[in-house]
Amino acid sequence: MSALRPWAGVALLLLPVLIWVLSLAANYDVIADVDVSRASLAPSVDHWLGCDHLGRDVLWRLITASESFVGPSLFACVVALVIGVPAGALSGWLGGLPASLTRFGLTTVASLPRFVLVLLVCAAFGNSVQLIALAAGVAYAPTLAEAIYARIQSFRHRGFVLAGQAHGLRSGRILWLHLLWVNHRRLILRHCVQLFAYFLLLETTLSYIGGLDGAGSFGVAQPDPSWGNMIAFEWREPQANIWATLAPGLATALVLLGATWTGRSLIEEQA
C-alpha cells in the first residue's frame, strides 16, 4: 500500500488538471444551464451527480469549477518560483550583505499570516481569482526562498562545489545546474505541489465564505462555480440533493490528499 501511495498521490493531483483541460475543451455553459423543473434531482443516468436546488447539473459545475483554481494555482506557482528561486539561490550563494537584505525583506513578508495577506490584497485591489493567485504566490515565495537559501548555504562549501570550481566550472553553472537543477529540483517541486494544494484550499475557503454571505465579496462568486461556493450554496437547503455538497467537498479532500502523498514521496533523505 505504501509503495502505491506516491503514484496514487500523483494520480489524484493530476486529476483536477485533466478535468481542467477537459473543461476548457468542452467549454460547457454552466451558467445558462438552469432548469427549475429538475431542482434537487437525485443522481440519475442523465445527471450522474444529480442537480442542485436551482436545477443545475452538479457534475458539470464540479468540472467547470476546476477552471477557478487549476490555472490560477499554476500561475501562483510561477509567481513563487520567479521570486523565490533567484532570491533564495543568490542569497545562499553570495552570502554577505545582499543576502541579509534580501532575507530581511523575505522574512518581513513571511511574518504576515498568508491568509491575512491575501484578504488584505482582496480588500485593497478587488476580488479576482488572478489577484488572489498573485497574492498567494508572493506570500508563498519567502517559504520557498528560505528553503532554497538554507540548502544552498549548506552546500556552498561542500567538497563537490569546491571540486567543481577546481575543475574550472563557472560559478553560474555550479549554482544553476549542479546545485539548483540536480540537487534542488525535488525540493522545488515539492514546494510547488504544496502551493498548489494551498491555493486550492485558499480559493475554496474564500469562495465558501463569499458564498455564505451571499454578496460574493470573497473568492469566486455565484453563478460561476467553485468547489467552495457550491458547498455554501447547497448545504442549508432542506430538500437538497446531498451530492451537491458532498461531491465538491470530497473532490477538495481527495486533491489535498493527493498533494500530501505526492509531497511526502518527494521528501528525499538528507545526503
> Which residues lie near another protein (CB under 8 A)?
157-160, 162-170, 178, 182-183, 271
Reading the block at residue 102, the C-alpha cell is: 534580501
Alpha-carbon span 175 to 180, nearest angstrom: 6
Reading the block at residue 265, the C-alpha cell is: 514521496
- Nearest-approach distance from CB 186 to another protein, in angstroms: 9
- Nearest-approach distance from CB 262 to another protein, in angstroms: 19
**159 or 238: CB nearest another protein:** 159
Question: What distance, in Å, lies between the first and last C-alpha atoms of the chain?
Answer: 26
**167 or 239: CB nearest another protein:** 167
- Nearest-approach distance from CB 162 to another protein, in angstroms: 6
Q: Long-range contacts: 72-75, Cβ < 8 Å, 24+?
A: 72/129, 72/130, 72/132, 72/133, 72/199, 72/203, 73/133, 73/136, 73/195, 73/196, 73/199, 73/200, 73/203, 74/196, 75/130, 75/133, 75/134, 75/137
**213 or 268: CB nearest another protein:** 268
| Rg from Cα positions in the chain | 22
115 SS3 class: helix
**183 or 205: CB nearest another protein:** 183
- Nearest-approach distance from CB 104 to another protein, in angstroms: 22
- Nearest-approach distance from CB 178 to another protein, in angstroms: 6
**153 or 205: CB nearest another protein:** 153
Alpha-carbon span 2 to 23, nearest angstrom: 32
- Nearest-approach distance from CB 161 to another protein, in angstroms: 9
Candidates 114, 113, 68; CA nearest to 208 is 68
Residue 109 and residue 167 in contact, taking contact as beta carbons nearer than 8 Å: no
**155 or 233: CB nearest another protein:** 155
